[in-house]
Structure 1
Amino acid sequence: MTRLLIIFFIFLILALAYIITEQRRTKIKQIKSSLVVLVKGAEQKYPNLPLKNYGIPLMVRRENRVQIVFPRLTQNGDVEYIYSWHDLKDVQAIAPISKTNDPKLTTIKELAPIIKEHWQIEPEMSALEQQYSKINNLANLVSTSDVYSVQIDTYDRALKEVEKLLSKAEQLQKIYVRLIREALIGVQVAEYNPDSLQVSQMAFDSQYQRLKQEYQTMKDVAHAYSQLLRESRSQEEEE
């Protein structure tokens, strides 16, 4: 009888451990697939969060820690991102289709994809600046050559395309910041005048859509010029 009880308790412990592990895996999967999460205690940890305990999940560590990003405004009205680690137990995933009358949740859901696009602009601009520097160095080198100086026009065109692309990227970045800033200001104004918040859809103005399309088109053009330069160098090496 004692032996059966021991076996039963061992089985029970293993079953509980399995259930806890599966619950943890399920929760992590939900958090990773969520655009937005609710973080217990975030508002107490970081004062003046316009969206209170709502944030955007970035990554989950093995030791049950989740990195969350909270957007907020500085005293000067600039947009800043707070990167913060929280215990898994304090983070709750929010379903994308969940309906709510909470303007803060509505705002963070609309802001999340814009903020992620905003993050992507920085490394893209860095890569463009490196590409510009590389092409510029090659153009200077080619201009001193008796053999390859005929290709200087190709390099000049590539430089102009990258310059245009950088200019569009800077404009797009400003629009991202403007949209995020206005949304964060709006949600705070709504605390005193709820009727002033437009929660139906984020105000994606025509300028944002136009610049975004132009930016993508110019990226394709710049890529084509880069490909042309690579093919040109390959032909030179073959000769």
Structure 2
Amino acid sequence: MKWIREKGGAIFLLLFILCCWELIVRLKEVPGWLLPAPTVIFSEAIKAIPTFSTDILSTTQLAILGLTIGSLVGFIIAVSLHMMPKVQKLVYPLLILSQNIPIIVLAPLLIIWFGFGLLPKLIIIGLVCFFPIVVAALDGFKNTAPELKYYMEMAGASKSQLFWKLELPHSLPSLFSGLKISATYSVMGAVISEWLGAKKGIGVYMTLSQSSFRTDRVFVAIFTIMLLSVIVFGLLRLVERIVIKGKLER
């Protein structure tokens, strides 16, 4: 009942939008190649499950692997910059500039440099995912209560002890916020990487559907991407509750 109270409004709004979409398409007799009705998209999704499931699995695996690598790289960078404030002042602006490079422009260069294998795809997803982790982790480290830090320093704690015993535990809420943002980006990054050259995946399915003017299948791919992002986000939120609750109970 609690879940229904919390999510009922959003579900009702979504159903209302879909109903309006369906009515407009039916009443205006919009061609299916231009804008298919939600019922048509749902019907096509059911038909496509046997063949489309392999594409979904491929994209999911790629997104999770890229998210894991990007998150680890982002966390290592954040810890390194936190431990070296002078280096942080030099490197942090460059990290911000790196996010202004359009991935769709950088992707062909990665193909030229690294070929059509797995590596360029993981680099693309990693570039999309690592920055939110870096920003969130650095903010979390800085938000540690100064009085607690002062108390531990008075007790003779070293810099590494301050980090592992105080700063890292206090940064977990911020760190998970960055992880949840990266999780939603990871699926999008996986699809973009598949556009560059892959044998299977949601990105490949979407490209083939576009070229054959199967707009219903394009929407199937879009809704699948959205659903995967929500699932990954929800799983991370569940892990966050377990970890944060465990820390509080200690």
Q: Which has the higher contact order (CA 8 A, sep 6+)?
A: 2
TM-score, normalisation: structure 1: 0.31
Greater fraction of residues in helix: 2
TM-score, normalisation: structure 2: 0.30
Greater fraction of residues in strand: 1
Bigger radius of gyration: 1
